[in-house]
Amino acid sequence: MGNEVEHNETGRRSAGPGARAKQRRAMWLGAAAGVVIVSAVLVGWSVADQILPGMAGVVALSAALDIAIAFGAAAVLTLVVWAVLRRRVRWFSLYLWVVSAGLILLSTRGAGTSATAWYLTVASAVVGASLVGAGAGMLLCRDTSRMPRRPIAVSAVGILVFCLPGSWLVAGGQPAPSADAVVAGVDGGAPGPLAVETAVYGSGTDRRAPYDSAGVDLRTEPVDASAIVSGWDDRRVRHWGFDADRFPLNAQVWYPVSDLPAPLVLIVHGNSSAATASEAGFGYLGRYLASHGFVVAALDENFLNTGPLDRSGGLGGVDHARGWLILEHLKVWQDWAGEPGHRLGSRVDMSRIGLAGHSRGGEAITTADELNAGAEAPGFAIRSLFALAPTEGLYEPQAVRSADTDYVVLQGAQDADVIGFGGLDQWARVAVGDGVAGLKGAVIVEGLNHAQFNSRWGSYDIGNGLPKHFIDTGRLVSAKQQQHIAAAWALATFRATLGDDPAARAALITALTAPRDADRPRSARRAITSGTTPAAEVTSAGDGEFQEVPLPLRGAPGAEIVHSVRWEAGDAAPTVTARFPGGVDLGVARLVFDAGSRLQPVDVRIRVTDTAGRTATLPAAVRVGGPLDTEYLRWEWMQPVAATQPLPQTYAVEVSPEVMHAAGVNPTAVSSVDLVFPADTAGSVLLGPIGLRPE
C-alpha cells in the first residue's frame, strides 16, 4: 500500500493520504459518538426526573417525539450543507447532523432556573464531548504509527472543557442562615395538646388511593366544572377516569379529639406534577393545626396540575377552577354541619373559616374569597387567608382584590419559582380600614425556598436533570425547619384571626413588626391593621430625590406604590414629613412606618411637631435594615434577577410622652412627624405607609 506511509525530507515517517483520510473519518465518527453519548445522558437524566407513577409511558412517548423532531430538523440542515459542499464533507456532515440534533434537543428540554447557565453548559458539554470523542477516535485508528501526542492533547482539552460546568456545581454557594420557628409565642415544631384523628372523603370511584372505594370514609358527589375548564380531552378522561363535568371533591382531613366545635381550615396545594398527590404534602400542617384545635382538610386538585398530557395543549380556566372548587368543598362542609351527629360536620364551626394555600393554591384562596363575595355566591364566613409563596396574576380577567378578609403571606427569599414575590402584590391590594379587613401581614424569610413548604416536592424549586442543580440548596434551611416555620406562622395567623383572642392578635401584629436595631435583617416583616390613622400628606425637604415609584420587586415592578428617597453624602439632611391636620394624640398610639434601605442600614431620627409648632426629637434612632439576600443559584452570574431585594419593613415606634413634655410638646396635638435621614453618607430608602397605630 504505497500511499499509506510517506517519508518527509528528514526521512521521518508520516501518514500518507489514505491514512490521513482514515484518521479524519475516525476523528469525526468519534466526535459524533461523543455528542450522542453526552446528549443521551443529559436527555435521559431530564426524562428520568419526570417519570412518576402512571406517567412513564406518556413521558417516554413525549421524549421519543422530541428526539424524532430534533433529528428530523437536523437532517434538513445537514442535507442543505451537503448539497452546498458536496462529498468533501462526508464525515463532517454526519457530525453536523448529530450535533445539530443534540443542540436542538438539549436547548428545548428546559433551562430550569438559568438560561445563561444551561446554554453555557450545553455548549461546554457538546464542545468537550466532541473533542474527547475526536481524540479517542484518532487514538483507536489503527494507522496511528507513533506517539499519539495530538490525539491525547485534543482529548485532554476536551476533558477540561467538558468538566467546566462541573466546577460551577461543586463550587460556589453560601451556608444557610438560621431561621426561627417560634412566632408570636408559637413553636412550629411542638404539637399541640389535643389528640388528632384522620379521615378521607371523596368520590369513592377514583383510580387513585386513598380516594378509591377502599380508602374513603365519607363519599361526596362530583361537581360539574365543564363551564369553567376547557381542553379536558379524551386522553385526560382515560387517564383520570372522569370528565370535566364530574370533578371529584376529594380531601384528607385531620381533626382534634374534642367536644367543642372548632374553626375550619382548608389547605390548597400548588402546581407540581399531576402524579405527585400534592395535598398529602401538607399532612404536617394539617396534623399540627388539628393538635391545636382546628379541623383541617387538605384538598385534592392534582387533576388540574400540569404534566406530560399538556404537551399538545394545556387546560383553560384552571386557575378559576382552583378557587371555585374550594367553595364546592365548603358547600359539602355546610351540608355536613347541618346533620346532627355527623362524624365531621358536628365538629366544625362554620362561622370561623380560614383558607391556606401554597403557590397556585395561594392565589386560589384569594380567588375563592372574591368568588365568595359575589352577588349569587354562598357567602361563607371566610375570615382569614394564609398564603405560602402564592402566584400572582394567573386568575383572569383581572387581579383579585380582598376587602373584608384578613390576609397574611409567607414567602421564601430563596424562592426560585415564584421569583417576583407575587404575594406582595396581593398584599398591596388588600384593603384595611374601618368595616373591612382588620389585618394584613407579609413575611419574607431568608433560607426558605418554594418547594420545601410541601413535604412531597423535594428541595429543588424548578428544573429536571442537570439544570435543577444550578440551585444552591446549601443556602436553604432544612425542609423540616422550613415546615416548622410555616406551621408557626399559620397557627399564629389562625389563632389571631379565627380564635377571637385579642392577645393572640396583638402577638401576631408584634411578630409582623421589624426589630428597630437590626443591621442585617434575615427577614422582612410588614403589617397594617384597622384603626391605624394614615398620614394625610407625605412631603420631603432637603437635598436629594423624592418620588413615588412602584415597589421594585425581582421579577417586575410591584403593584404597591412607595416613596423612593435618594441622597448623596454632604447633601442637606433629607427629611420626610408625615402630616396629621388638626393634630392627633400620640400618647395613645405608636408611630408606624414602612422603610427599607437599598444600600447599607440607615439610622433614622424621629422628630415630632405639635399644632403650636413646638418640636421634640427622640433620643434613639431607628435603624432601617438593608436588603435581603435573595440569591438562590450557585453563582450570582447565573441569576436572571437581582441577588438582593430591598423591601420596606414595618417599624413601630413608641414616642414617650415624657420626652415630648420635656421639650414642651403637647402629645395630644401632634400635627406632623419627621423622618430625618443622615447627611454624612449617601443613601437610598424605600418608604411605605406612615401612620399612627392605636395601642
Q: Is residue 1 part of a domain?
A: no
Range of the domain at 136: 17-171
Both 536 and 519 in one domain: the answer is no
| Strand ranges in 216-307 using DSSP code E only, listed in sequence order | 218-219, 251-256, 262-268, 295-299
- End-to-end CA distance of the chain, in Å? 102
Length of the chain: 695
What grid cell was written down for 615? 418640636
C-alpha 598, offset from chain centre: 22
Domain boundary among 525, 558, 578: 525
Q: Other C-beta atoms within 10 Å of 377: how many?
A: 12
Count of the separate structural domains present in the chain: 3
Which one, of 537, 351, 506, lies nearest residue 439 by Cα? 506
Q: What per-residue confidence (pLDDT) applies to 17?
A: 60
Domain boundary among 145, 171, 197: 171
> Residue type at 285?
L
Both 287 and 418 in one domain: the answer is yes
Q: Is residue 4 part of a domain?
A: no
Both 521 and 537 in one domain: the answer is no
Q: Is residue 249 part of a domain?
A: yes
Burial of 216 (0-12, 13-18, 19+ CB in 10 A): buried
Both 213 and 138 in one domain: the answer is no
CA distance 613 to 662: 15
Q: Is residue 10 part of a domain?
A: no
Both 462 and 544 in one domain: the answer is no
Q: Other C-beta atoms within 10 Å of 390: how many?
A: 29
Q: Is residue 8 part of a domain?
A: no
Q: What per-residue confidence (pLDDT) applies to 199?
A: 97
CA distance 358 to 433: 27
Both 512 and 541 in one domain: the answer is no
CA distance 649 to 626: 10
In the chain (695 residues long), the average pLDDT of successive 10-residue segments reads 47 56 80 88 84 71 83 84 67 83 84 88 88 83 62 81 78 68 88 96 87 90 96 89 95 95 97 86 98 98 86 83 97 95 94 97 95 86 96 85 87 93 90 77 94 95 89 92 96 93 92 72 85 90 90 89 92 90 87 93 94 92 92 90 92 89 91 93 93 86
Both 218 and 73 in one domain: the answer is no
Q: Please tell me the pTM assigned to this model.
A: 0.91
Both 586 and 625 in one domain: the answer is yes
Both 464 and 587 in one domain: the answer is no
Q: Is residue 6 part of a domain?
A: no
Place of cell 415630632: 608
Q: What per-residue confidence (pLDDT) applies to 54?
A: 66
Which one, of 472, 473, 450, lies nearest residue 461 by Cα? 450
Domain boundary among 171, 201, 219: 171
Q: Is residue 569 part of a domain?
A: yes
Helix (H) / strand (E) element for 640: namely none
Both 501 and 549 in one domain: the answer is no
Contact partners, residue 624, CB within 8 Å, separation at least 6: 595, 596, 597, 601, 602, 603, 604, 649, 651, 685
C-alpha 174, offset from chain centre: 19
CATH number at residue 403: 3.40.50.1820
Q: What per-residue confidence (pLDDT) applies to 610?
A: 92
Q: What per-residue confidence (pLDDT) applies to 88?
A: 56
- Helices then strands, counting H and E runs in the chain, come out as 13, 28
Both 562 and 496 in one domain: the answer is no
Which spans in 401-558 are helix H? 423-429, 479-498, 502-511
**In contact, 381 and 265? CB cutoff 8 Å:** no
Q: What per-residue confidence (pLDDT) applies to 212?
A: 87
Both 401 and 337 in one domain: the answer is yes
Contact partners, residue 393, CB within 8 Å, separation at least 6: 399, 422, 425
**In contact, 322 and 364? CB cutoff 8 Å:** yes
Q: What per-residue confidence (pLDDT) applies to 1?
A: 42
Q: Is residue 52 part of a domain?
A: yes
